């Protein structure tokens, strides 16, 4: 019955002939989806506000998975007064909740022996050498032809959509939808990451996004004031060193204090305790425009209110702390950058407003949050973050554009300079290639007596460096399957670095 309802809803929406019928079809679709997902799209007034806030080349898209497949509901603002909202709807039988779960946790073992299949993105974060393989599988599966993301890509190209805001429900909120390898416009076997089709951002709900977008229009930058946290000490003995965290914060401090004449409030090592940070947030909170955490993070999927940033002395700044206005009140905060592992992971249920660190920071006052889904190699994080701040603070790009351009630069796309120029980022467009930045970072750290950053990780010591992965592939290149996998990794080998980060909010 549920499958029949989805097909019927799909047919009605695709076949509508008159504007009056579109609104009725829209209501019918939502009603049908709620039969399986009771909490889906409950805040109708909030959705109406969001629709009015959307630009003509922006779309808000709800994405959810069920036992029967995935559903996507896209809405947009009708430019002419009195017209009903733009609505599009897709479903598939491919991205079932079971398949999405396998992308995250892998397949069950048989008689306590591994099946040899992909371990899943969550499991791969604690297993040597498997993150690349798990991520590639997720990218290919999410963008599969005839899947909802493939249909979304076709729509965005045809409608010339500039930006797509995802409201990912449930398990979809744990996956890099922006990195899905969707079929290209040519219609052949080639694929491209979804964020090459359209700029992608995320939001816990339409209500939160509309509020963030409204605050963006009202925002007056003025002086930049940033609270910076670097590698809190002492750390738990199970946590790996963060050799690049100090360099990351020092370089950001340089941009803020010298290049934009702002003010920074840094907390390094043993000074980065929870009492000190809470006191700093209270003292400077009303004037802070940016916060940046270069530290370890920890997600609690069963209790997302306990997800947090790990500080000195074993303390944690948790999502629940951010929801207490007497503790944290950040009325001028433009962006919170959580340069730590798993800061983007949310709860696995299907509430109307997904709970997690991004939602916590948004509700505490941030307009945008840059967070990660998995560990990223140390020096690569430093390079990507510095480029992000150059684009955001020096070229005045909004956080979504800044990350999008930084990712294109990091991937060494031939058009990255032209992309920067098109968005008015002339300062960044004249900058060096990522390879030169990476080389300088490594040389600088070596001169200070540190090991090559590629031998470490920014977040956990289990994630393999680039050269280790290449050696791993070389040692397994004797089979046709491994050879094919090696070729695929050659195309997307850096995805585990650039695809980890995403912007939530506006």
470: pLDDT strictly greater than 50: no
pLDDT on residue 435: 87
The C-alpha angle 436, 440, 444, rounded to 5 degrees, equals 175
Q: What are 66's strand-pairing partners?
A: 69
pLDDT on residue 360: 81
What does the pLDDT average to over 326-352?
A: 66
pLDDT on residue 147: 95
Lowest mean pLDDT among 245-259, 395-409, 481-495: 481-495
Residues in the chain: 506
pLDDT on residue 473: 28
In angstroms, the CA 119 to CA 108 distance is 9
In angstroms, the CA 7 to CA 276 distance is 56
End-to-end distance of the chain based on CA atoms, in angstroms? 38
181: pLDDT strictly greater than 90: yes
User: Which tens digits make up the pLDDT trace of 126-167?
Assistant: 655 688 888 889 999 999 999 999 999 999 999 999 999 999
Higher per-residue confidence, 411 vs 235: 411
**Per-range mean pLDDT, top range of 31-45, 293-307, 375-389:** 375-389
pLDDT on residue 415: 94
As a whole number of Å, the CA-based R_g of the chain is 22
Give the residue from 379, 370, 374 showing the smallest Cα distance to 506: 370
Higher per-residue confidence, 42 vs 205: 205
Query: SS3 of 264, please?
Result: strand
184: pLDDT strictly greater than 80: yes
- Given pLDDT bands bounded at 50, 70 and 90, which one contains residue 344? very low
345: pLDDT strictly greater than 60: no
Question: In three state form, how does the secondary structure of 155-212 look?
Answer: HHHHHCCCEEEEEECHHHHHCCHHHCEEECCCCCCCEEEHHHCCEEEECCCHHHHHHH
Percent of the chain with pLDDT over 70: 70
pLDDT on residue 12: 45
In the predicted model, what is the mean pLDDT of the chain? 77
Higher per-residue confidence, 170 vs 377: 170
In angstroms, the CA 179 to CA 162 distance is 16
| Kind plus residue range of the DSSP H or E element containing 106 | none
- Given pLDDT bands bounded at 50, 70 and 90, which one contains residue 45? low
pLDDT on residue 296: 81
Give whole-number Cα distances, 406 to 15, 42, 159, 195, 388, in Å: 41, 35, 25, 12, 6
271: pLDDT strictly greater than 50: yes
Give the residue from 211, 203, 204, 218 showing the smallest Cα distance to 163: 203
pLDDT on residue 157: 96
226: pLDDT strictly greater than 90: yes
User: Which tens digits make up the pLDDT trace of 407-448?
Assistant: 999 999 999 999 999 999 999 999 999 988 888 887 765 444
User: Which tens digits make up the pLDDT trace of 47-59?
Assistant: 677 777 899 999 9
User: Which tens digits make up the pLDDT trace of 295-336?
Assistant: 887 776 666 667 778 888 888 888 777 777 666 778 889 999
Strand ordering across the sheet containing 263-268 = 86-91, 69-76, 58-66, 163-168, 199-202, 501-505, 368-372, 335-339, 290-294, 225-230, 263-268
């Amino acid at each position: 019955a549920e499958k029949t309802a989805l097909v019927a809803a799909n047919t009605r929406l695709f076949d509508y002939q008159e504007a009056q019928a579109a609104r009725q079809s829209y209501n019918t679709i939502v009603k049908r989806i709620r039969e399986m997902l009771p909490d889906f799209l409950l805040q109708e007034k909030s959705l109406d506000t969001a629709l009015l806030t959307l630009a003509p080349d922006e779309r808000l898209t709800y994405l959810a998975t069920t036992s029967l497949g995935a559903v996507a509901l896209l809405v947009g603002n009708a430019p002419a007064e009195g017209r009903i909202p733009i609505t599009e709807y897709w479903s598939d039988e491919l991205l079932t909740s079971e398949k999405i779960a396998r992308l995250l946790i892998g397949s069950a073992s048989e008689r306590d022996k591994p099946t040899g299949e992909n371990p899943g993105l969550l499991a791969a974060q604690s297993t040597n050498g498997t993150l690349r393989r798990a991520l590639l599988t997720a990218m290919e599966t999410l963008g599969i032809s005839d899947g909802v993301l493939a249909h979304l890509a076709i729509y965005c190209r045809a409608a010339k959509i500039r930006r797509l805001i995802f409201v990912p429900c449930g398990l979809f909120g744990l996956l890099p939808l922006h990195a899905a390898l969707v079929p290209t416009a040519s219609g052949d076997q080639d694929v491209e990451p979804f964020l090459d089709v359209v700029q992608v951002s995320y939001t816990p709900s339409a209500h939160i996004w509309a509020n963030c977008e409204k605050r963006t229009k009202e925002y007056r930058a003025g002086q930049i004031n940033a609270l910076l946290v670097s590698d809190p000490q002492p750390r738990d003995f199970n946590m790996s060193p963060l050799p690049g965290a100090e360099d990351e914060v020092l370089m950001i401090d340089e941009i803020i204090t010298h290049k934009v004449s702002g003010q920074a409030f840094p907390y390094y090592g043993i000074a980065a305790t929870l009492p000190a940070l809470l006191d700093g947030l209270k003292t400077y909170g009303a004037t802070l425009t940016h916060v940046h955490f270069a530290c370890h993070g920890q997600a609690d999927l069963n209790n997302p209110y306990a997800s947090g940033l790990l500080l000195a002395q074993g303390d944690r700044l948790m999502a629940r702390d951010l929801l207490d206005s007497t503790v944290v009140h950040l009325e001028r905060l433009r962006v919170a950058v959580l340069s730590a592992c798993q800061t983007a992971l949310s709860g696995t249920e299907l509430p109307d407003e997904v709970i997690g660190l991004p939602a916590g920071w948004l509700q505490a006052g941030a307009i945008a949050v840059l967070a990660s889904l998995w560990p990223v190699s140390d020096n690569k994080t430093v390079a990507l973050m510095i480029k992000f701040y150059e684009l955001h603070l020096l070229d005045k790009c909004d956080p979504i554009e800044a990350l999008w351009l930084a990712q294109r630069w990091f991937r060494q796309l031939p058009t990255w300079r032209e992309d920067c120029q098109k968005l008015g980022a002339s300062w960044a467009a004249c900058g060096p290639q990522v390879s030169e930045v990476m080389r300088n970072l490594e040389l600088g750290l070596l001169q200070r007596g540190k090991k090559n950053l590629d031998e470490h990780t920014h977040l956990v010591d289990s994630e393999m460096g680039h050269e280790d992965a290449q050696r791993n592939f070389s040692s397994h290149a004797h089979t046709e399957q491994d050879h094919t996998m090696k070729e695929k990794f050659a195309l997307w080998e850096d995805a585990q670095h650039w695809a980890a980060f995403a912007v939530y909010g506006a």
